[in-house]
Chain A
Amino acid sequence: SAVISQKPSRDICQRGTSLTIQCQVDSQVTMMFWYRQQPGQSLTLIATANQGSEATYESGFVIDKFPISRPNLTFSTLTVSNMSPEDSSIYLCSVILVFADRGLREQYFGPGTRLTVT
């Protein structure tokens, strides 16, 4: 399994400011992702954080709003830029581990960062 930590666990921010969320994994992983869970909603994939190259964003998400860094195989950051109240969500980091010997792929989630924008 993978142990994922996120910082901060929660924050309250003013509109127009930016927040950077950190994600640390206890092992090297190739595939790392960022999700958003808006209040009362399901999880929506924001982007795939690619090590050594630009992140791949899903439809509806852009780099200017959600810049992502992935400097190595155990760490990534997601920045929520120029925040508005609509950005109030839980942001989750996630990784996929591949167990080739068992033909398994398993996805693990961090505890989430609860962001409130006022």
Chain B
Amino acid sequence: GDSVTQMEGPVTLSEEAFLTINCTYTATGYPSLFWYVQYPGEGLQLLLKATKADDKGSNKGFEATYRKETTSFHLEKGSVQVSDSAVYFCALLQAGTALIFGKGTTLSVSS
């Protein structure tokens, strides 16, 4: 079945460092891809999305490009802040089904 694989965490960075969180997927057809973020003690929030190949989703300085050839949707940010410390989930959505989530990657940014 469909699945999402994220890099293992935790990821620990200093403020202003470059961030990459890898995400690859296995799916039939052409799913939509998402990144969700969960800040400590809070609910799940949609961070960005892409609905077709070569689409780039972006929000709050984060970007991810839907790469069909490598079945990837890596999350990047050029300069992280302490406030970006959270758990990041990659997910895919196929027609007729609900979101399938990766295991999540914890990001910790120190000043």
A binding-site residues for B, Cβ under 8 Å: 31, 33, 35, 41-45, 48, 92, 94, 96, 103-105, 107, 109, 111-112
Q: B60 to chain A: closest CB distance in Å?
A: 18
- CB within 8 A of B104: which of A35, A42, A104? A42
Contact B32 A105 (CB under 8 A): yes
Is B44 located at the chain interface by the 8 A CB criterion? yes
B binding-site residues for A, Cβ under 8 Å: 32, 43-44, 51, 89, 93, 95, 98-104
Chain A residues lying within 8 Å of B100, measured Cβ to Cβ, are 45
A-B contact count (CB 8 A): 38
- CB within 8 A of A104: which of B43, B44, B51, B99? B51
Q: In the complex, A72→B12 CA distance in Å?
A: 46
12 A-B residue pairs with CB within 8 Å:
A31-B98, A33-B98, A42-B89, A42-B102, A43-B89, A43-B99, A45-B100, A105-B32, A105-B95, A107-B93, A111-B43, A112-B43
